[in-house]
Amino acid sequence: MSRAPEFVALSAEGLRAVAGARNRHTALIEDAFGVLVETPGGGVALSGDAKSRRAAKSAVETIATRADQGLEVTEADVRVAIGQARAGAGAAPAGGGLPVGRRGQVAPKTPTQAAYLTALARHDLVLGLGPAGTGKTFLAVAHGAGLLLRGAVDRLIVSRPAVEAGERLGFLPGDMNEKVDPYMAPVWEALTDILGVEQMRRRREKGEIEVAPIAFLRGRTLRHAFVIVDEAQNASRAQMKMVLTRLGEGSRMAVTGDPTQIDLPNVGDSGLAHAVGLLEGVEGVAVTRFTAADVVRHPLVERIVRAYDADAAKRGRPV
C-alpha cells in the first residue's frame, strides 16, 4: 500500500480546530491512528498506511465540519470524532432547531445523540437511558428550550426525584424554592448554559420555566408543555406511573436516567426499567440507549464507565 502523504484541504477555522491549543488535538489524532499529521498550509497532510490515513481523514473532516458550522471544538469533541472514525460512522449531523447556547449552537456530538434528538422531535414520549456524561439531560433541556423559544410550547417543566422531598423537606431552612433548588442544581446549570442567567430568570419569574421534584406534579395536568423527568431511575414505579400520566393536550415528555445508578432502598422498585419494559414499542414512544462511547465529558469518565460495565458483565448483572 502507498504511504505517500494524503492532503486534506481545510478552512482556517477547520485547521485551527484540528490542531487545537499547542497542537493537542493533532497529537490525539496521531496517537489514535498511528499517523503523522503535518500542516503545510491550507490543510493537513496525513502520513501512514492507507487504512490509518482513511480513519484519520474521517476524524479530521468531522472536526473541521463542526468548526465550519461555528460550533465549539473541545478535546471531548475530538475524542468523539476519533471514536466515530474507528467505528466507521460518519459525522453526526448538526442540531437544526436547537438554541444557541453560551458556547455556540447546541448540536449532537455522536450518532446516538443525533438519533436521540430525532426521537425527541418525532415522538411524544422519549426515554433516554445511559451512563453519566452522555448528554441525555442536557440535550433534552436544549430541545425543550428550543421549543419554548420558538413558541411551540408554553412551558418547560423539569422534574427529578428528590428522596428528601417528602417529609424531610419541611425541616430544611428557607422557602420552598430554597428547599428544592439544591436538588435541581444540575438542571439549573444546563438551563443557564443554554439560555443565560437573565433570560432564564425572566422566564422562570413568568412561569414559563418550572423545576420541581416529581412529588410536586401529583394531581396536575400538564398542557402545552415540554416535560423532562431527570434521574428517573430514582423514581418509584408509582411515581413513574403518576408522572407519565400527567401529560395533557399539546405536551411532550423526555424521561432520562441511568438504570445502573439506582439510589432507592429497594432497587427493584425503580420505575425507569419497569416503564421501558412496559412501553417500548408502544406507538408514540421511543427509547434511546446511550453507551460509554457516547460519553462527552472528561475522557476519564468514558474509561470509568467501561470499567464498571465490564465488572457488571463479569458478575452477571444487567447494565
Shared-domain flag, residues 151 and 253: yes
E-state strands within the chain: 6-9, 36-38, 43-47, 100-101, 104-105, 125-129, 155-160, 209-213, 225-229, 252-257, 285-289
Shared-domain flag, residues 183 and 68: no
- In the chain, DSSP finds a helix count (H) and a strand count (E) of 12, 11
**pLDDT at residue 94, rounded to an integer:** 46
| CATH code, domain carrying 200 | 3.40.50.300
**pLDDT at residue 240, rounded to an integer:** 94
Question: Could you tell me the residue range of the domain that residue 20 belongs to?
Answer: 6-87
| Closest by Cα among 20, 72, 14, 79 to 42 | 14
The answer to whether residue 289 is domain-embedded is yes
The answer to whether residue 55 is domain-embedded is yes
Pairing type for strands 252-257 and 125-129 reads: parallel
**pLDDT at residue 303, rounded to an integer:** 79
The answer to whether residue 92 is domain-embedded is no
**pLDDT at residue 42, rounded to an integer:** 87
DSSP per residue over 68-105, as a string?
Answer: HTT----HHHHHHHHHHHHHT--PPPP-TTPPEETTEE
The answer to whether residue 93 is domain-embedded is no
**pLDDT at residue 10, rounded to an integer:** 93
| CATH code, domain carrying 11 | 3.30.1370.10
**pLDDT at residue 34, rounded to an integer:** 93
Shared-domain flag, residues 128 and 27: no
**Number of domain units in the chain:** 2
Shared-domain flag, residues 113 and 155: yes
Shared-domain flag, residues 66 and 192: no
**pLDDT at residue 265, rounded to an integer:** 84
The answer to whether residue 319 is domain-embedded is no
Shared-domain flag, residues 50 and 106: no
The answer to whether residue 168 is domain-embedded is yes
Q: For every one of its 319 residues, what pLDDT tens digit does the chain have, with 9 covering 90 and above? A: 456 788 999 999 999 999 999 899 999 999 989 999 998 888 999 999 999 999 999 999 999 998 898 888 888 778 878 877 876 655 444 444 566 555 555 678 888 888 999 999 999 999 999 998 898 998 999 899 888 888 889 999 999 887 543 434 455 455 555 555 666 777 788 888 888 888 888 998 999 999 888 888 888 999 999 999 999 999 999 999 999 999 999 999 999 999 988 888 888 889 999 999 999 999 999 999 998 888 876 667 777 877 887 887 777 655 4
What pTM value is reported for the model?
A: 0.69
The answer to whether residue 25 is domain-embedded is yes
Shared-domain flag, residues 303 and 231: yes
